[in-house]
Amino acid sequence: MTTLVKTLVDIGPLIIFLIVDGYAGIFVATGFLMIACLIAFYISWSLTHKIALLPVLTLVFVLIFGGLTLLLKDDSFIKIEVTITNALLGIFLLGGMIFRQPLLKLLFGEIAHLDDEGWHKMSWRMGWFFVGIALLNEVVWRSVETDTWVSFRVYGILGLTLIFLLSQIPVTLRHMVKDNSEKPD
């Protein structure tokens, strides 16, 4: 899958969510988000014939909390989904590190080839990043109007994630396994 296609599959549902929210409101946008996530998951699977853990978890949470949002006509569920997804991911990564198991490698081991120290560092950092995003989302959705939260959900979280990932390039470069004959653990 090309980088452009992967990027569109990854952020496409969020862009659709933002656009539809602007025209039809949070409830219609939530329905579109659920459908777009299903389509994105299918496209990803059909192009790679692999089911990655992170997109599956995201899809499940979007379907559950989006469904609750629509069923109960309460937009707090779709807002809480962001908190729960990020908090659980952060806790998963940090919990693994308590047992000295860099679980980030399970999620991204096929994409990046880091030495053990690199996986440990990145698992700690990403774990705390996801917990931070969960906490920030809680503050934002509880203190601003829904349309402002939608913009934060799309632009704010994506922007913070991009800044965080760019700031981690030196660590990943330092810990990259350089030789293909060297197998990462």
185 lies in some domain: no
* Selection from 48, 29, 116, 148 nearest residue 40 by Cα: 48
> Tens digit of pLDDT for each residue in 120-153?
999 999 999 999 999 999 999 999 999 999 999 9
Answer yes or no: is 17 within a domain. yes
pLDDT value of position 6? 77
Residues across the chain = 185
Residue 182 falls inside a structural domain: no
Nearest 5°: the CA angle 128, 116, 107 is: 55
Tens-digit pLDDT string for the chain (185 aa): 676 777 788 889 999 999 999 999 999 999 999 999 999 999 988 988 887 777 888 899 999 999 999 999 999 999 999 999 999 999 999 999 999 999 888 877 667 789 999 999 999 999 999 999 999 999 999 999 999 999 999 999 999 999 999 999 999 999 998 765 445 45
pTM: 0.86
Number of domains composing the chain: 1
Amino acid at 125: R
| Whole-number pLDDT of residue 63 | 97
- How far is Cα 166 from Cα 82, in angstroms, rounded to an integer? 22
Owning domain of residue 30: 3-174
Domain assignment present for residue 181? The answer is no
Residue percentage of the chain with pLDDT more than 70: 94
| Token pair of 83 as six digits | 């908190």
